Amino acid sequence: MTHIGLPHFLTISAILFALGIFGIVTKRNAVMLLMGIELVLNAANINFVAFSRYNVLGVPLSDSRMMVGQMASIFVIVLAACEAAVALAIVLNIYKRFNTINVDEVDNLRD
């Protein structure tokens, strides 16, 4: 039975990031995109927390150093909430204007 260490956290984070990216890339629904973004952000949060516990070599850090990463992740969560609120407001406006939230169809700036 191996000890749970930094690589595990990073692996989970990477998987979560990849899923988030996959979601962003593949989904056309704007809400689904936001959800992908949330996944990416949370992957980052996991990294923050993980690196607040371990240094790059996997050696556990002292307690006093742990708070920095955790505070950063809480900050990201707050920002993510704000972002979700703003983004949903934008999506709502897009829907009102284009009558769809399919981002493929909202490409007026392209031409």
Partner 1 sequence: MDIRLTLSLVILVLPLFGFAVQLILGKMKTPADYVVDPHENPAHDHGHHANTADAHTADHTQPAADAPHDAIGTVTHDIHTAHSDHHYDFVVTKQRGEWTPADQKRAYSLSWISTAIMGICLALALFVAYKTISDPGDATKPNYYPKVQASTTWMDFKDLSTSSIKQSYTVTLGILADNMAAIMLVVVTLISFLVHLFSSEYMREPSMHGGRFNRFYAFLGLFTFSMLGIVIANNLLMIYIFWELVGLSSYLLIGFWYERPAPQYANKKAFIVNRVGDIGMFTGIMILYTQLGTLELTKVFDMLAAGHIPFGSNPWLTAAGILLFCGAIGKSAQFPLNVWLPDAMEGPTPVSALIHAATMVAAGVYLTARIFPLLTGDAMLFVAAIGAATAIIAASIALVQTDLKKVLAFSTVSQLGYMVLALGVGAFSAGIFHLVTHAMFKACLFLGSGSVIHQMHHSLHHLHDHDRDPQDMRNMGGLRKKMPVTYLTMLIATLAISGIPLFSGYMSKDEILAGAWAFRNISPTFIANAVWIIGYTVAGMTAFYMFRMIFLTFWGEPKASDIYEHIHENPRVMVAPLIVLAILSLWIPFGANPLNPGGGWFLSTWVKTPINVTPAAVQPFAGMAHEVPHEAAPEAKPEGGKAEAMAPFQETIEHEVHHLHSTGIPGVASLPALLSLLVAGSGILLAFLLFGRAGAKGQQVSWEAPRGIRAFLFNRWYQDNLYEKIFPVGLTLLLMKMLAWFDQNVIDGIVNGVGSSTVLLARVTAGFDTYVVDGLVNLLGGTAQFLGLVMRQIQTGRIQTYVVYVILGVVVLFFAFR
Q: Which residues of this protein are in contact with partner 1, per CB under 8 A?
A: 21, 24-26, 33, 103-104, 107, 109-110
Shortest CB 104 distance to partner 1, Å:
6
46 closest CA partner among 75, 21, 14, 78: 14
In the complex with partner 1, the residue whose CB is nearer, 26 or 93, is: 26
In the complex with partner 1, the residue whose CB is nearer, 27 or 76, is: 27
Q: Which two tokens stand for residue 68?
A: 């920095």
CA distance 48 to 76: 10
Shortest CB 63 distance to partner 1, Å:
32
Q: Which two tokens stand for residue 57?
A: 């070599």
Residue 22, Cα to own-chain centre: how many angstroms?
A: 12
Shortest CB 24 distance to partner 1, Å:
5
